[in-house]
């Protein structure tokens, strides 16, 4: 039996920073309100000519270099994104494979919003365990600034740009393996978080022609409540299924949407502060990039050691959700 192991992590954040003070000039908001209601102080914004694939490539290069795996052994790339370089095609994953000069790899995008990285991880795990692939590069990359309405104070204060990537590879050693991944969805709540225009659902609508057609819209308060409920339930279920106590989790890495959501979930699960990874303050919500960027922060601060158990927990548009029990298993 082959198992799937997370070998390495990498991330990238664009150099330009958008502060709360700058947003306060653009919309009717304040640094105080944003920090109190979200915990966000700043977010990174990609340059005009910097695409989602460029950020994905920067993160992937770091993850590949750290993995100890030859680039020509990568046989699949999965890119999770809601802000692809191009609408419909080509996929951002194929562009990433070209920019990385990886030939003949299976490459495709998935759309699971902020749960994208956990979904991509589950796909990598399934392909590796079935024996179809050996070394999979997964990328969560977002240029959310391209689909953000900077006249809407309910959303523009939240989102930022960035990318994270990980190399997942086959192992026979069960102690290195990803333990379990749970994913789910409920389309009944599709209207809580969506880009309502621009797709085939509005192809004959004049709105689809407008520049703003792909802007995100969110019912923030309702989303908040479902997020807390779903993220907590997710964790309880995956821990119970695998007979693991929350005290055994070294790093709880939740989707970084709002500090209050993370605190509410952490409190409900009785997690200690030192277990909970927080990056929302400096990156805001980067959707599918949020979890790998957060793991990378722990890694780069020297606090992610081989064998340590991470619990990933995500929630996003769709609605989608997912959790994963993942030991950090670099090649020895």
**Which positions are catalytic?**
114, 255, 285
Short-list 234, 240, 225, CA closest to 253? 234
**Shortest Cβ distance from residue 163 to ligand UT7 (Å)?**
16
Q: What's the rounded Cα separation, in Å, for the pair 197 and 218?
A: 13
**Shortest Cβ distance from residue 262 to ligand UT7 (Å)?**
10
Beta carbon nearer to ligand UT7, 161 or 176: 161
Look at residue 277 and give its three-state secondary structure. Answer: coil
For residues 59 and 283, the answer to whether their CB atoms sit within 8 Å is no
Helices (H) and strands (E) in the chain, counts: 10, 13
Short-list 219, 154, 210, CA closest to 192? 219
Q: Nearest-CB residue to ligand UT7?
A: 220
Beta carbon nearer to ligand UT7, 29 or 202: 29
Q: What's the rounded Cα separation, in Å, for the pair 99 and 147?
A: 24
Q: What's the rounded Cα separation, in Å, for the pair 260 and 152?
A: 21
Beta carbon nearer to ligand UT7, 11 or 261: 261
Beta carbon nearer to ligand UT7, 78 or 158: 158
**Shortest Cβ distance from residue 218 to ligand UT7 (Å)?**
6
**Shortest Cβ distance from residue 242 to ligand UT7 (Å)?**
25
Q: What's the rounded Cα separation, in Å, for the pair 276 and 297?
A: 12
Beta carbon nearer to ligand UT7, 93 or 227: 227
**Shortest Cβ distance from residue 13 to ligand UT7 (Å)?**
17
For residues 160 and 52, the answer to whether their CB atoms sit within 8 Å is no
Residue 80 β-bridge partners: 110, 140
Q: What's the rounded Cα separation, in Å, for the pair 136 and 167?
A: 6
For residues 59 and 11, the answer to whether their CB atoms sit within 8 Å is yes
Tell me the CB-side half-sphere exposure of residue 109, using CA atoms within 13 A.
26
Residues that bind ligand UT7 (CB under 6 A): 29, 33, 37-38, 114, 153-154, 157, 193, 220-221, 223-224, 227, 257-258, 261, 285, 315-316
């Amino acid at each position: 039996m082959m198992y799937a192991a997370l070998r390495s992590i990498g991330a990238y954040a664009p150099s330009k920073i958008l502060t709360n003070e700058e947003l306060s000039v653009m919309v009717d908001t304040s640094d105080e309100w944003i920090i109190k209601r979200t915990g966000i102080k700043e977010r990174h914004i990609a340059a005009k000519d910097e695409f989602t694939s460029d950020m994905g490539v920067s993160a992937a290069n770091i993850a590949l270099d750290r993995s100890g795996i030859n680039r020509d052994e990568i046989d699949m790339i999965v890119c999770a994104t809601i802000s692809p370089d191009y609408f419909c095609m080509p996929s951002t994953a194929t562009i990433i494979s070209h920019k990385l000069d990886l030939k003949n790899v299976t490459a495709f995008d998935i759309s699971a919003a902020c749960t994208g990285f956990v979904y991509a991880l589950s796909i990598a795990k399934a392909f590796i365990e079935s024996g179809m692939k050996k070394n999979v590069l997964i990328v969560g990359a977002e240029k959310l600034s391209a689909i953000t309405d900077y006249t809407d104070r309910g959303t523009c204060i939240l989102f930022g740009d960035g990318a994270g990537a990980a190399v997942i590879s086959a192992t026979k050693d069960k102690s290195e393996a990803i333990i379990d991944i749970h994913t789910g969805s409920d389309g009944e709540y599709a209207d809580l978080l969506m880009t309502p225009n621009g797709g085939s659902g509005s192809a004959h609508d004049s709105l689809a022609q407008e520049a703003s057609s792909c802007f995100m819209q969110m019912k923030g308060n309702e989303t908040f409540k479902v997020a807390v409920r779903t993220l907590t339930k997710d964790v309880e279920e995956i821990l119970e299924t695998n007979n693991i106590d929350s005290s055994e989790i070294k790093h709880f890495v939740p989707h970084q949407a709002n500090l209050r959501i993370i605190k509410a979930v952490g409190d409900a699960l009785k997690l200690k502060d030192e277990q909970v990874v927080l990056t929302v303050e400096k990156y805001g919500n980067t959707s599918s990039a949020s979890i790998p960027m957060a793991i990378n922060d722990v890694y780069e601060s020297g606090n992610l050691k081989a064998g340590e158990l991470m619990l990933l927990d995500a929630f996003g548009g769709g609605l989608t959700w997912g959790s994963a029990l993942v030991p950090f298993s670099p090649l020895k």
